Amino acid sequence: MDFTLSPEHQALRRMIREVVQNEVAPLAAEIDRHHIVPIETMRKIGATGLLGVCFPQKYGGMGAGEMGYCILMEEVNKVCTSTGTNVGAHIGIGAMAIYLDGNEEQKRKYLTPLARGEKFAAFGLTESGAGSDAAAIRTRAVREGDSWILDGGKVFITNGGYADTITILAVTDPTLGARGGITAFIAETDWKGFKVAREEDKMGIRGTSTAELVFEELRVPHENVLGKVGEGFIIFMKSLDMGRLTLGAACIGGSEMAVDSAVRWAKTRQQYGEELAHKQSVQWKIANMATELEALRSLVYRTAWLVDTGQPFSQLAAMCKLYGSEVASRAIDMALQIHGGLGFTRDFPLERGFRDARIGEIYEGTSEVQKIVIANNIFREHGVRVRP
């Protein structure tokens, strides 16, 4: 067993830290306050090659594997959850679906510019009446010659407002349901019939675009069917599996920020004539935070290793997201408590972190859905197929 990070991953972390400090950190507070999507920052990150961190070099990526992607998510989210979410939606689900199930031509045409950071991706799954229960989606695709005509819409689509390439899940055969009746498409957002209806005003991750999209006779050529017709549900679930792992990595970043901040403040702030660091109430909080952070780190890195070595990881990935979002929320909550009134002010980054952390338990499958996935996997090993 070897728990050391490989030299290329250590070097990658150093590079990412530098990029994040220079390009992401200076804007983190401002994009949250003024609800700005930092597209220019995304372009700068893209120019370094990092938006293709986990994709093969032949498709414009870096070839640093899932572990490399986890390090990216960790380091970006340590400083700015909004930017981390933009990056995650682009790589982890948007481009990932094309990487996992695209054919050679689709990868060349769509994945390559995404990996190079020249174009941005979004993942069109959620509808107002359907999220993790993808079988309930209502967006319809009807075959017309060499094309499919899409009608319907999506909600809460991260990067939806500025993405160039979007994967869309639509019903192609209403009689078949989730398995067989749903197909994934790759669409370009400048095609006629694609419309951004609105941007959501959110509690946290305010530097992200969360868009409601409308498709009105959106014509998608048949060659843009991702995978096979009728297999869209499986394809999207595979991307979400991978996405969950990296959202766990994102939570390492958020938790680290909280621990660092709490330790720094406990060293400085004096109360009743001594630093907070000498108070047992504070020590215990920090000990708990650090322990949970370390447990999360072990879980995420092991899961990344399973992915990179081609082993089953679905159950662990759900655990990464479930546990990660809880750890991050708790860590930031405790850090805020240690900071007292300072932590509650909007000028201090913990307040932003507190709001941002909440989405971790919601997006890309709520904590409840993660528990379903985990329980499903456990019971399946015992021959029981549970209903969601």
Partner 1 sequence: MSYLDLLMAQQEEVSEAEGGGGGVWVVADVVDGAVAPVTLEALGAARTLADALGAYVYGVLLGSGVSDQAQLLYQAGADGVRVVDDPALAQFATAPFLKVLSDLFAEEQPEVVLFGATEMGQALAPRLAQQMSGGLIEHAATLSLDEETRTVQGAVPIYGGEFFEVLACPQARPQFLTVEPGALGAPFLDRYRSGEPTALDVTLAEPDVRILGPAEGFEPPAVPLAQAPVIVAAGRQAGDFALVQRLAAALGGRVAGDRGARDAGWIEADQVIDVRGVTVSPDVYVAVGIRGDTFHNAAIEAAKFVLAIHPDPEAPIFALADLCIEGNPAEVVPALLEALG
Partner 2 sequence: MRIIVILGRVLDPAGITINQRAGRIFVNREEYVIQPADRCALEVALRIKDATAAEVVVLPRGPLPDDDILRQALAIGADRAVYFTRERFKADEAVMVRLLEAAIDRLGGADLVLTGATTLDSGQGQLGPRMAAALDWPQILDAWQAEVVDGAVQAVRQDGTGYVTVEAALPAVVTVVPGAVKPRYPDGVRLVNIYKNVGEIAAALERWEVTDLVGVDMLVPLVERRGQDFPPPRERGVRLSGAPDEVAVAAAQALQKRMNG
- Per-residue binding string, partner 2, 2-21, x by CB under 8 A, is ----xxx--xx-xx--xx--
Under rule CB under 8 A, residue 21 binds partner 1: no
Regarding 345 and contact with partner 1 (CB under 8 A), the answer is: yes
Q: Which is nearer to partner 2, 65 or 227 (CB)?
A: 65
Q: Which stretch, 124-132, 292-300, 318-326, 341-349, contacts partner 1 (CB under 8 A)?
A: 341-349
Judged by CB under 8 A, does residue 337 bind partner 2? Answer: no
Between CA 181 and CA 197 the distance in angstroms is 27
Cβ closest to partner 1, residue 10 vs residue 345: 345
In 24-158 the beta strands, taken as DSSP E runs, fall at 121-124, 140-144, 147-158
Residues 10-69 that bind partner 2 (CB under 8 A): 11-12, 14-15, 18-19, 48-50, 52-53, 57, 62-64, 68
Q: Which is nearer to partner 2, 49 or 181 (CB)?
A: 49
Tell me which of 40, 294, 364, 381 is the catalytic residue.
Answer: 364
> Is residue 348 near partner 1 by the rule CB under 8 A?
yes
The residue count for binding partner 2 (CB under 8 A) is: 19
Contact between 83 and 207 under an 8 Å Cβ cutoff? The reply is: yes
C-beta closer to partner 1: residue 305 or 348? 348
Within the chain, what is the greatest distance between any pair of CA atoms? Answer: 79
As given in the structure block, the two tokens for residue 94 are: 């948007």
* Residue 52: partners with Cβ closer than 8 Å, 6 or more residues away: 59, 60, 61, 62, 91, 95, 114, 115, 116, 117
Choose the contact partner of 48 out of partner 2, partner 1, none; CB within 5 to 8 A by kind: partner 2
Catalytic annotation present for 275: no
Binding residue for partner 1, selected from 2, 104, 146, 347, defined by CB under 8 A: 347
DSSP-assigned letter for residue 310:
T
Return the SS3 of 73: helix
- Token code pair at residue 214: 């409308």
Does the CA dihedral 138-139-143-149 come out positive or negative? positive
Footprint (CB under 8 A) of partner 2, residues 178-237: none
If binding is defined by CB under 8 A, does position 270 make contact with partner 1? yes
What gap in Å lies between CA 363 and CA 131, rounded to an integer?
10
Positions 59 through 118 that interact with partner 2 (CB under 8 A): 62-64, 68
* Per-residue contact string for residues 289-328; x = within reach of partner 1 by CB under 8 A: ----------------------------------------
Cβ atoms 187, 224 nearer than 8 A: yes
Q: Least distance from C-beta 30 to partner 1, angstroms? A: 10
189 three-class SS: coil
219 Cβ neighbours under 8 A, 6+ residues apart:
144, 147, 148, 149, 150, 191, 192, 193
| CB of 267 vs partner 1, minimal distance in Å | 9
Write out the catalytic residue numbers.
Answer: 364
